[in-house]
Amino acid sequence: MKLGEFEQQLLQDIGAVIPGVIGAVSLGQCPANIHINIALMSYGGFSLVLALLKYFLKVKTTPEEGENETNRNIANFVQIFLFASVIYGCAVTWPNVGKYTDEQCTGFVFWTGFITCTIFVSIATLMIGYMAYTGTFGKKGAAASNQDMA
């Protein structure tokens, strides 16, 4: 069974909201660092707002000609907060790897926060590396740089 574009996008959006649900449901299971739950809930909340913008205001993932610019600006604004919540999550999980016992902070909560921000940072790093490799920041790849040398 092949999923359509709408179904694929819906599954991605549900997956992005799940860390927020985990953070809210497991509130109090990490008394040593409540900030992990806050980071998970903020990430899930901003992901939910972004998903709602896509479905109800018809904001596309990539900008298109003729798209309502106000809606696109709202989506960009939400994405900034989403990125900030990921950085916050990384700041409260990465320095504490291996620091807490299961009584201080359940592994499920801690590792959900850790994996959420690690996936996001890994994808961003790969994208930046790819853009640097292909020369997307200005010219199109090695062929363009070879032409400059000639």
Reply yes or no on whether the pLDDT at 73 is more than 60. yes
pLDDT band at 61 (very low <50, low <70, confident <90, very high): low
Query: What are the residue ranges of helices labelled H in the chain?
Result: 5-25, 35-56, 69-93, 107-134, 141-149
Percent of the chain with pLDDT strictly greater than 90? 7
What DSSP line would sit under 69-104, residue for residue?
A: HHHHHHHHHHHHHHHHHHHHHHHHHGGGTTT--TTT
* pLDDT computed for residue 116 by the predictor: 86
* pLDDT computed for residue 117 by the predictor: 86
Nearest to 55 by CA among 120, 7, 116: 7
Measure Cα distances from 98 to 49, 95, 111, 114, 142 in Å: 33, 9, 10, 12, 43
Reply yes or no on whether the pLDDT at 138 is more than 60. no
* 67/128: higher pLDDT: 128
Per mean pLDDT, which range of 28-37, 40-49, 60-69 is the poorest?
60-69
Reply yes or no on whether the pLDDT at 81 is more than 80. yes
Q: Average pLDDT of 106-129?
A: 88
Residue 54 CA to residue 47 CA, distance in Å, equals 11
- Would you list the domain boundaries of the chain? 5-149
Backbone angles phi, psi at 57, to 5 degrees: -100, 0
Nearest to 116 by CA among 7, 22, 8, 5: 22
Residue 70 CA to residue 28 CA, distance in Å, equals 39
* pLDDT computed for residue 139 by the predictor: 56
Reply yes or no on whether the pLDDT at 44 is more than 80. yes
Residue 84 CA to residue 79 CA, distance in Å, equals 8
Q: Average pLDDT of 21-39?
A: 88
